[in-house]
Amino acid sequence: MIRSAKGWTRSRSGKGLTLAAFATAAALALSACSGGGAQPQPEASGGGGGGGNSGYTFAMITHETPGDTFWDRIRAGAEQAAKDTGSTLKYSADPEATKQATLIQGAIDAKVDGIATTLVTTDALIPTVKKAVAAGIPVDSFNSGTDFYQKAGSIAHFSSDERLAGQQAGAKAKAAGATKILCTIQQTGSVALEDRCAGVKDAFPNTENIQVNGQDDSAVTSAIQAKLAQDKEINWIITLGATQALDALKAMDAVKSQAKLGTFDLSKGAAEAVKAGTIQFCIDQQPYLQGYLAVTQLYLYKKNGNILGGGKPSLTGPAFVDTSNVDTILPFINQNTR
């Protein structure tokens, strides 16, 4: 998979879902997504679903950090949705908010049929999103910015409830004997990450945040290692990404910490660590589903005027993965759909 932070790469269409098939899928279960997308079907005559080449071109723009495999599943879902709806997908990403805004402006200038974007740094992104809306380009958002998508003019939003997820994580750590929690934030200014740690603190007030550089795994490990060596009261760590969880395991090993670890997001390595008992839980927000729904929503809006969510965000999480269900989830992780 191409991971370029600049420029656009294309995913071209095949045959698509009928409207009836998508309506079934969109009823939260979305069984097509959990199996890697619906099988192509002929379009019913007079229907409002996909089929052949829809003629639509959609841009997806994210704050992906190069090397973070979380975004592979976002993109896989988006590419499957483009295939299923007979659309063309242009994907681009940059972790810097100003550069992400520039990519959104590029999609506006290209006069795409719709834009799906993350809203990780709202102050920097919302003005450009509003330009797209003013230009008559429908925008939906996903992954981050749940509290801001309506302000931006997004027609729909697909994400986990980040604060709720944090509250549930804090409650689980408390029940498991936490006395002090360290919550790591790997991207400065991310409203979603701040909400996660705020939720942890809601449930367990003796929580301390630490800022780490999520673009440098060794720096993450060093920062957590130094904090654990300095503060022996920490007996729980909650990381906000699966990659950072694996970094935390290295830090814990280095100082022989007996702290327990939970993390947001899934990866194969994190899931295997859950199975081995070195990570207590992962909080899954179903990124594949977010990417799939974001593109399919744009297609259905252009084709039929359909809008999901009823004026509220459509939630894809939180869902906890622990020893009770990790064996069921692992096959989906291996096929890049969870």
* DSSP 8-state code for residue 69: T
Name the more confident of 128 and 67.
Answer: 128
Question: Residue 179 corresponds to which amino acid?
Answer: T
E-assigned strands of 80-206?
88-93, 114-117, 139-142, 157-160, 181-185
Please write the tens of the pLDDT for every residue from 39-56: 444 443 344 555 578 999
Please write the tens of the pLDDT for every residue from 317-333: 999 999 999 999 999 99
Question: Residue 61 corresponds to which amino acid?
Answer: I
- Give the integer Cα–Cα distance in Å for 215 and 208: 21
- Integer angstrom CA distances of residue 271 from 34, 75, 245: 17, 20, 11
CA-only gyration radius of the chain, Å: 20
Please write the tens of the pLDDT for every residue from 198-234: 999 999 999 999 999 998 999 999 999 999 999 999 9
Sole residue written with tokens 């207590």? 280
According to the model, what pLDDT value does residue 8 have? 52
Q: CB 66: neighbour CB atoms within 10 A? A: 12
- Give the integer Cα–Cα distance in Å for 121 and 103: 14
- Give the integer Cα–Cα distance in Å for 3 and 24: 32
- Cα torsion at 211, 244, 191, 151 (round to 10°)? 150
According to the model, what pLDDT value does residue 26 have? 46
According to the model, what pLDDT value does residue 221 have? 97
Please write the tens of the pLDDT for every residue from 164-193: 999 999 999 999 999 999 999 998 888 889
Give the mean pLDDT of the chain.
Answer: 88
Stretch 288-294: mean pLDDT, rounded?
98
According to the model, what pLDDT value does residue 52 have? 73
pLDDT band at 31, cuts 50/70/90? very low
301 pLDDT above the threshold of 60: yes
Angle between helices 287-304 and 70-85 (to 10 degrees): 30
Residue 300 parent element (H or E): helix 287-304
Tell me if the bond preceding 318 is cis, omega within 30° of 0.
yes
Q: Are 50 and 292 in contact (CB under 8 A)?
A: no
The bridge status of strand 319-321 relative to strand 281-284 is antiparallel
Query: Tokens standing for 76?
Result: 């896989």
Helix (H, G, I), strand (E, B) or coil at 91: strand
Please write the tens of the pLDDT for every residue from 239-284: 999 999 999 999 999 999 999 999 999 999 999 999 999 999 999 9
According to the model, what pLDDT value does residue 49 have? 53
According to the model, what pLDDT value does residue 66 have? 86
- Give the integer Cα–Cα distance in Å for 260 and 228: 12
According to the model, what pLDDT value does residue 189 have? 85
Angle between helices 268-276 and 242-254 (to 10 degrees): 50
Sole residue written with tokens 């681009």? 92
Please write the tens of the pLDDT for every residue from 99-148: 999 999 999 999 999 999 999 999 999 999 999 999 999 999 999 999 99
Stretch 54-72: mean pLDDT, rounded?
93
- Give the integer Cα–Cα distance in Å for 307 and 76: 22
- Give the integer Cα–Cα distance in Å for 139 and 163: 24
